[in-house]
């Protein structure tokens, strides 16, 4: 990958993130329709779809030969056919978008042959843009992010987006989370996985774990946390995929080691 190509990808990814975030914020103040996707706890709004269309249009205008994997499936082609793949979530935290009108984000990532090149997570409510380019570090609105603090289990603020459903119960996830909650300083749940991972990169949270996330939820956050010096794997410690569902563990590097050690020492049966 040429330096000029990487710079062009970065520029467009940041433009897409900002532009999508601004559009969401504008549309949030006007009436919009809300539909159930699979249930009353799985919402999609007309804004999710409009914003994704907007981002897909921006990408294809500049790079017509790139593929796009987005939550709302605006791009009809098979993502597996493309060497360069944009992995995008127009609104991450739709429930927050509808109820709280804060704590939602847009997530934009660029992968080339499976390697993460650029990640951008934009929080339009706070005008905070978290981004990273492979090998060039991570930033929050141009301030470099570096996870060099030592964080023990007892000192950690841990974030998790567990779904308190039957499957979690069957896998004993509720018990794992309960046990972990007793070990760390505190647990948090914001409701936007991309933003939660960006907060790990910024040191506002020390770790984020999820039983199951989609590729568009963690695509950008993974690159930002890694470029900030953090560790990101599945909960069992294996590499994350870039185009499929997976469990996710994204942490400050010292806390990552402690958390993996703790999960193993307790023989916890975590998902991969
Ligand atoms: P969304 O808002 O883009 O749907 C908390 O709800 C987090 O989990 C959000 O990042 C949300 O993304 C994501 N999420 C919602 N439903 C999910 C599901 N069925 N599986 C995995 N993640 C989900
Ligand atoms: Ca959704
Ligand atoms: Ca999402
Ligand atoms: Ca979404």
Pocket of ligand 1 contains residue 24 by CB under 6 Å = no
Quote the percentage of the chain above a pLDDT of 90. 86
Does residue 272 form part of some domain?
no
Residues 134, 84, single domain; the answer is yes
Domain span holding position 217: 153-265
Q: Is 44 in the pocket of ligand 1 (CB under 6 A)?
A: no
Of 127, 124, 135, the C-alpha closest to 9 is 135
Report if residue 17 sits inside a domain. yes
> What percentage of the chain exceeds 70 in pLDDT?
99
Distance CA 182, CA 75 (A): 44
Residue 271 in any domain: the answer is no
Please identify, among 145, 173, 189, the residue that sits at the C-terminal boundary of a domain: 145
Average of pLDDT values for 75-104? 97
User: Are residue 162 and residue 212 in the same domain, yes or no?
Assistant: yes
Structure tokens at 39: 């249930």
Residue closest to 206 by CA, chosen among 240, 254, 161:
254
| CA nearest ligand 1 atom 21, residue | 213
Pick the last residue of a domain from 103, 128, 145: 145
Is-contact 53 71, C-beta < 8 A? Answer: no
ipTM: 0.97
CATH of the domain at 110: 3.30.540.10
**Banded pLDDT at 272 (limits 50, 70, 90):** confident
Are 182 and 78 members of one domain? no
pLDDT for residue 178 is more than 90? no
What does each C-alpha distance from 45 to 36, 71, 86, 101, 190 come to in angstroms?
A: 9, 12, 22, 13, 19
* Cα angle, residue 234 at apex, residues 233 and 236 outer, rounded to 5°: 110
Report the C-alpha gap between 162 and 168 in whole angstroms. Answer: 8
Q: Is 93 in the pocket of ligand 1 (CB under 6 A)?
A: yes
Nearest residue CA, atom 14 of ligand 1?
Answer: 213
pLDDT tens figures, 126-136: 999 999 999 99
The position carrying tokens 């500049």 is 62
Q: What is the pTM of this model?
A: 0.97
- Tell me, yes or no, whether 180 and 200 share the same domain: yes
DSSP string, 159-196: EE----SHHHHHTTHHHHHHHHHTTSSEEE--S-HHHH
Q: Is 214 in the pocket of ligand 1 (CB under 6 A)?
A: yes
Binding-site residues from annotation: 71, 89, 91-92, 217
Closest ligand 1 atom to residue 213 Cα is: 21
Contacts of 148 (CB under 8 A, 6+ apart): 229
Q: Is the CB of 193 under 6 A from ligand 1?
A: yes
Q: What is the mean pLDDT of the chain?
A: 95
Closest ligand 1 atom, residue 38 Cα:
19
Final residue belonging to a domain, choices 127, 145, 163: 145
Per-residue pLDDT, 171:
72
Asked if 134 and 118 count as a contact pair (C-beta separation under 8 A), the reply is: yes
Confidence check: pLDDT of 163 > 90: no
Instruction: Please give the structure tokens belonging to residue 232.
Output: 């990101």
269: Cβ–Cβ under 8 A, 6 or more apart, which residues?
Answer: 171, 172
Which residues contact residue 135 at a Cβ distance below 8 angstroms, ignoring those fewer than 6 apart? 227
User: Of 139, 132, 155, whose CA–CA distance to 207 is shortest?
Assistant: 155
Q: How far away, in angstroms, is 89 Cα from ligand 2 center?
A: 9
Residues 19 and 113 in one domain: yes
pLDDT score at 253: 98
Q: If you measure from the C-alpha of residue 105 to the centroid of ligand 3, how many angstroms do you get, rounded to a whole number?
A: 9
52 lines ligand 1 (CB under 6 A): no
Candidate ranges 167-171, 172-176, 212-216; pick with highest mean pLDDT: 212-216
* Residue 164 scores a pLDDT above 70: no
């Amino acid at each position: 990958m040429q330096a000029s190509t990487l710079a062009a990808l970065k520029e467009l990814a940041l433009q897409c993130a900002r532009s999508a975030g601004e559009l969401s914020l504008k549309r949030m103040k006007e009436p919009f329709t809300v539909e159930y996707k699979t249930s009353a706890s799985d919402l999609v709004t007309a804004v999710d779809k409009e914003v994704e269309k907007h981002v897909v249009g921006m990408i294809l205008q500049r790079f017509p030969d790139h593929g796009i994997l987005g939550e709302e499936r605006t791009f009809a082609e098979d993502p597996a056919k493309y060497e360069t793949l944009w992995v995008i979530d127009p609104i991450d935290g739709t429930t927050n978008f509808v109820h709280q009108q804060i704590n939602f984000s847009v997530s934009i990532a660029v992968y080339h042959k499976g390697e993460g090149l650029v990640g951008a997570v934009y929080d339009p409510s706070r005008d905070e843009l978290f981004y990273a380019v492979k090998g060039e570090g991570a930033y929050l609105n141009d301030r470099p992010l570096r996870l060099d603090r030592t964080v023990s289990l007892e000192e950690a603020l841990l974030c998790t987006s567990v779904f308190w459903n039957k499957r979690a119960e069957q896998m004993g996830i509720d018990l794992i989370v309960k046990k972990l909650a007793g070990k760390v300083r505190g647990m948090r749940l914001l409701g936007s996985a991309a933003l939660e991972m960006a907060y790990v990169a910024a040191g506002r949270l020390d770790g984020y774990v999820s039983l199951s996330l989609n590729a568009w939820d963690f695509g950008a956050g993974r690159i930002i946390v890694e470029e900030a010096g953090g560790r990101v794997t599945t909960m069992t410690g294996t590499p994350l995929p870039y185009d499929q569902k997976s469990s996710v563990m994204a942490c400050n590097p010292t806390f990552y080691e402690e958390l993996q050690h703790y999960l193993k020492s307790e023989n916890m049966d975590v998902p991969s």
